[in-house]
Amino acid sequence: QHQLQESGPGLVKASETLSLTCAVSGASIRSDNYYWGWIRRPPGKGLEWIGSISYSGSTYYNSSLKSRVTMSVDTSKNQVSLKFNSLTAADTAVYYCARYNFWSGPSYDTWGRGTLVTVSS
């Protein structure tokens, strides 16, 4: 069973680019049954879907964020990555990596604990 662990810088400056990594353990990410997604939760607000990626690199992005988001996958390291540019204070949030399972819903059925990103001015 997959376990997910997000990592990132914690604090980034406005206008810079955020880079986050999701390390997947317990099983290979090379499966046609799953995609790998990113979801965030700004402080005091609800969850917002950022997008998802397959192990072969097919991507789906939230259209409201698409111009600033790039997702990638490294199957040799069993990890997925998120890059988010032109940051503002509104991008301050806990960022979660999650497994998208086509056979349960579909749904994001396994999540990491998240990593807090604070954008400073």
Question: Which positions touch another protein (CB under 8 A)?
Answer: 4, 37, 39, 45-49, 60, 62-64, 96, 98, 104-114
Identify which of residues 5 and 31 has a Cβ nearer to another protein in the complex: 5
Residue 44 or 76 having the CB closest to another protein: 44
Q: How many CA atoms lie within 13 A of 77 on its CB side?
A: 10
| φ, ψ dihedrals at 65, nearest 5° | -120, -10
- Cα–Cα distance for residue pair 90/73, rounded to 1 Å: 26
- Nearer Cβ to another protein (52/81): 52
CB of 47 to another protein, least distance (A): 4
Q: Residue 101 CB, nearest distance to another protein (Å)?
A: 8
Q: What angle do CA 23, 104, 4 make, to 5 degrees?
A: 10
Report the alpha-carbon distance of residue 73 to residue 78 in Å, rounded: 8
**Min. distance of Cβ 90 from another protein in angstroms?**
15
Shortest Å distance, C-beta 121 to another protein? 25
Strand ranges of the sheet holding 69-74, from the earlier edge strand across to the other edge:
3-7, 18-25, 79-84, 69-74
CB nearer to another protein: give 14 or 116: 116
